[in-house]
A and B are shown apart, each in its own frame.
Chain A
Amino acid sequence: MIPGAFAYHRPKSVAEAVGMLADLGDDARALAGGHSLIPMMKLRLAKPEHLVDLAGISELNGVRTEGGDIVIGSMTTQNELLRSDLLAAKLPILRETSLVIADPQVRNVGTLGGNVANGDPGNDMPAVMMCLGATYHVAGKGGERRIAARDFYQGAYFTALEAGEIVTSIRIPAPPAGHGYAYEKLKRKVGDYATAAAAAVLTLNKGAVNYCSIGLTNVAETPLWAEAAAKHLIGTTLDGGSVKKAVAAAEAITAPASDNRGPAAYRTKMAGVMLTRALARAKTRAA
């Protein structure tokens, strides 16, 4: 499995990278960790004539706070997310999610930006970003703009990114201290994409839910933000009846494909099971 020939470029700055992508046009692709793009190139499903490697751009790395937000450079690897003390303290759901992505070697190379920008419904971070209300900072030759994760995903591998644009960082409003969280993923083996997965973040006030947000992975052409499902839980104690209503609302927005991970009806039910488990675990973690 040998990819088609291409020319390799390694810009040193975002400005240089987006300039190259604009000049080279449709024949060019940005390369982040490459663990989605390179397999596609080996299968010749992707045949870029130019690869613009973002690895030499130091401004795309790192995790920092800005006001009440956490800002993560797009080239930050999954393994760097796992090692970040800042994220462990402020946004532990990212650690929980990173741990169920691929395996140690892949996590050393795979990036958050690549995971969210690729538009693969099997990727785990997009649903978590929708759940958290993240915003993607995007740069193109025309300048910079911000796109909400909840508006970003339009279809399988089809996103709000325009040609020549790259995601430069991911901005996440820090959930309140004491929030409960969980990412529950059903997979057949280590490294597999989800049969179905659910992210939940919630806060409790005297035992009742006063904030809840839910994301679902790999049960539609795009990751899903289950807004109606979460609304069913506000004001409840996450009692069985309320959770059932939320699960029904979440299942209602799924439209999974039948594939070797299971028939569509099964994957929809598993999304519900993952959500039930995620809510239960988030509840135990909420202060």
Chain B
Amino acid sequence: MAKTQIAMKVNGKAVEALVEPRTLLIHFLREELSLTGPHIGCETSHCGACTVDLNGKSVKSCTMFAVQANGADILTIEGIANADGSLHALQEGFREMHGLQCGFCTPGMITRAHRLLQEIPNPSEQEIREGIAGNLCRCTGYQNIVKAIQYAAAKLSGVPAKEAAE
């Protein structure tokens, strides 16, 4: 089957490639671009481990073809850290609040939370839980993930990190 030329921006960098139309976006990111942060979990659009940001919206990259993302602006977990290499408030929050155990869901969870905090800068606990309803975690029971996102929301709104952790 003929390949299709695609071009997109991934984590701020322009990318061009020839892909088979059946190539899923998650496979393109992981195998062609070596961005293995987004994970392949359920492959059925339930678990959210493959979540990436596409044109300012959270999507599940296992249920989209790379050709559908032609021309898109994509952000993966690899592009979340601050420009100086320091951890983003969400990454710091997940570390400080013990928001992960095995870590498999974490890239998708943080990438989704990153968008959620732009949609709702100071979400309530309920809004956080609804916002991450498309991301499954089988370790934490979500309590500390919610706390990690609250930590980041507080830090990003200028509340000192220590106070946010308490």
Inter-chain CA distance A157–B48, complex, in Å, is 27
A79 near B: Cβ within 8 Å?
Answer: yes
Residues on A with C-beta less than 8 A from B58 are: 104-105, 108
Residues of the A chain whose Cβ atoms lie less than 8 Å from the Cβ of B83: none
The residues in A between 134 and 192 inclusive whose CB is less than 8 angstroms from any CB of B are 190-191
Check if A105 sits within 8 Å of B51, measured CB to CB: yes
Which residues of the partner chain B approach A5 to less than 8 Å between Cβ atoms? Answer: 1, 20-22
Question: Which one of B1, B57, B130, B134 lies within 8 Å of A7 (CB-CB)?
Answer: B1
Q: Are B22 and A35 in contact (CB under 8 A)?
A: no
Residues from chain A with a CB closer than 8 A to the CB of B2 are 7
A10–B51 Cα gap in the complex (Å)?
24
Partner of B22, one of A2, A31, A39: A2
Instruction: From the candidates B21, B46, B48, name the one contacting A51 in the complex (CB within 8 A).
Output: B21
Contact status A106-B134, CB under 8 Å? yes
Q: Given A7-B21, A102-B134, A103-B133, A191–B63 Cβ distance below 8 Å?
A: no
Cα separation A31 to B63 with both chains bound (whole Å):
12
Measured between beta carbons, the chain A residues less than 8 angstroms from B22 are: 2-6, 41
- Interface positions of A (Cβ within 8 A of B): 1-8, 10, 31, 34-35, 38-39, 41-42, 51, 53, 55, 79, 102-106, 108-109, 190-191
List the interface of chain B (C-beta within 8 A of A): 1-2, 4, 20-22, 24, 27, 43-46, 48, 51, 57-60, 63-65, 67-68, 70, 112, 116, 130-131, 133-134
